[in-house]
């Protein structure tokens, strides 16, 4: 077995030891790349057909549900009550097992609704993460709270109260990464006040916490030469193990992509920039990195190229470390918001600006195919891969599945009504089903046991 494949197998075995391969324990799934080995998913469904259950949610949220054994966890808001909610559902029935007001109500931004900053999102945008013992919820106002599986609170803190106000133009929405017995959150932000909050000289940093207690284990400054909004990142740290066995967290933002020690936050390497001379000052980064085929993708914003950086480097890397880059505005291979998928040895890059899904070879950047997507609503949710298909959902809660081999659209399912205008949660494949979050509800879509028995007959 090649060294790279061997180490990848070790990593997957490590991650698999933390949870069932059928689970979806964090925002980007068991391999942190949007992919799953789940099979037996339905080809045809809608708001009634092949729906095993539907649970009406208290409010909206962009967070993707996670599935841990017999439980489903997600965040939501109750705008009328001004509450940030941590919710646990029964996987088989959709029944609410417990629901807590997880937010402190901390509001650092003056007058306004306590569940949102601006109109484009709300504080229930980061996804939960779990090791099967505890589940940790993070909210965009800095509230961080951990419960056991039965809903007993183990610890809570507010990062803005403890570490200073966030300095972002929009609602901060990175999801914590649970790896190497660390809960890690990149806080890459402006160094100047924004929207009447913050202060001059504020640092960007990588924060590492003890997942059992919430106590700070490290706060490592991540410097950047980017300016104004280009310093801001909403991306999640992604785990990777090099051929030499070095464990890294891949972080993107502040005009660069970098690799960090998960135990200390120390920076091993960085490559950049997609913003020469840091001329563009409004290039915040939303997509997280994705790793596959020996490279890490960094999606530069607003129609700029996608960059594939060869992994395993040290120090400050130059363009010789680039495996390839897309043509940006002349190419469908670009993404302003969705994080790409790595599935069955290829990247799948969803362009929200082009309404196009592209299958890309990881080593060369060759575009295998590009498929136009319906243009009725924006494509902001990150694609996921399972059962030979790539699953995408638009703002209007329309789910589209594309055959991963041929690029043929094989499923179109409208899961929301006219009120669903900002659905941004990724479709989650887990335990033989799809978990689909709209603005108002969570669906479990799949075949019932009686359907399976009928198919066997």
Domain boundaries, the chain: 61-163
How much is the pTM? 0.92
Q: Which two tokens stand for residue 381?
A: 């949710």
Distance in Å from the first CA to the final CA of the chain: 41
| Burial class for 119, CB neighbours closer than 10 Å (0-12, 13-18, 19+) | exposed
Q: Which two tokens stand for residue 413?
A: 């399912």
Q: Under 8 Å CB-to-CB from 456, ≥6 apart: which residues?
A: none
Q: What are phi and psi of 320, to 5 degrees?
A: -65, -20
Q: Which residue has the tokens 């689909």?
A: 436
| Burial class for 376, CB neighbours closer than 10 Å (0-12, 13-18, 19+) | exposed
Topology (CATH) of 61-163: Thrombin, subunit H (2.40.10)
pLDDT by 10s per residue, the chain, length 457:
344 433 443 444 444 444 578 999 999 999 999 999 999 999 999 999 999 999 999 999 999 999 999 999 999 998 788 889 999 999 999 999 999 998 765 554 333 445 555 556 789 999 999 999 999 999 999 999 999 999 999 999 999 999 999 999 988 999 999 999 999 999 999 999 998 888 999 999 999 999 999 999 999 999 999 999 999 999 999 999 999 999 999 999 999 999 999 999 999 999 999 999 999 999 999 999 999 999 999 999 999 999 999 999 999 999 999 999 999 777 899 999 999 999 999 999 999 999 999 999 999 999 999 999 999 999 999 999 999 999 999 999 999 999 999 999 999 999 998 776 789 999 999 999 999 999 999 999 999 865 644 444 4
Rg (CA), the chain: 20
Closest C-alpha to 58, from 99, 27, 95, 113: 99
């Amino acid at each position: 077995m090649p060294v790279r494949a061997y180490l990848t197998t070790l990593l997957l075995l490590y991650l698999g030891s933390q949870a069932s391969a059928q689970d979806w324990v964090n925002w980007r799934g068991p391999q942190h790349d949007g992919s799953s080995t789940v099979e037996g998913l339905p080809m045809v469904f809608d708001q009634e057909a092949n729906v095993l259950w539907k649970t009406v949610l208290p409010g909206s949220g962009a967070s993707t549900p996670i599935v841990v054994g017999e439980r489903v966890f997600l965040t939501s808001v109750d705008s009328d009550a001004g509450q940030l909610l941590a919710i646990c559902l029964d996987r088989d029935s959709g029944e609410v097992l417990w629901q807590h007001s997880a937010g402190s109500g901390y509001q650092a931004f003056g007058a306004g609704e306590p569940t949102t900053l601006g109109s484009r999102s709300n504080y229930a945008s980061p996804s939960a993460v779990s090791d099967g013992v505890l589940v940790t919820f993070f909210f965009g106002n800095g509230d961080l709270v951990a419960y056991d599986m039965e809903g007993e609170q183990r610890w809570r803190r507010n990062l803005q109260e403890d570490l200073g106000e966030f300095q972002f133009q929009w609602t901060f929405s990175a999801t914590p990464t649970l790896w190497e017995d660390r809960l890690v959150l990149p806080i890459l932000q402006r160094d100047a006040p924004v929207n009447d909050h913050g202060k001059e000289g504020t640092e960007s940093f990588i924060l590492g916490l003890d997942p059992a207690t919430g106590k700070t284990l490290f706060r490592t400054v991540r410097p950047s030469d980017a300016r104004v909004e280009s310093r801001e990142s909403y991306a999640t740290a992604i785990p990777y193990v090099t051929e030499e066995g070095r464990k890294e967290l891949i972080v993107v933002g502040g005009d660069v992509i970098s690799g960090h020690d998960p135990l200390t936050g120390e920076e091993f390497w960085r490559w950049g920039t997609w913003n020469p001379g840091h001329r563009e000052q409004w290039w915040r980064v939303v997509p997280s990195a994705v790793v596959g085929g020996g490279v890490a993708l960094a999606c530069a914003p607003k129609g700029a190229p996608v960059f594939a950086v060869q992994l395993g480097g040290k120090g400050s890397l130059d363009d010789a470390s680039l495996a390839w880059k897309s043509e940006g505005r002349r190419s469908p291979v670009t993404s302003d918001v969705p994080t790409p998928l790595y599935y069955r040895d290829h990247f799948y890059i969803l362009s929200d600006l082009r309404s196009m899904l592209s299958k890309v070879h990881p080593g060369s950047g060759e575009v295998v195919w590009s498929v136009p997507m319906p243009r009725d609503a924006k494509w902001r949710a990150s694609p996921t891969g399972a059962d030979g298909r790539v699953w995408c959902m638009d703002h209007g809660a329309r789910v589209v599945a594309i055959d991963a081999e041929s690029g043929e659209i094989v499923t179109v399912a409208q899961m929301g009504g006219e009120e669903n205008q900002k659905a941004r949660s990724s479709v989650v494949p887990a335990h033989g089903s799809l978990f689909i979050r709209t603005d108002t509800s969570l669906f479990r879509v799949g075949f019932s046991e009686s359907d399976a028995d009928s198919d066997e007959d």
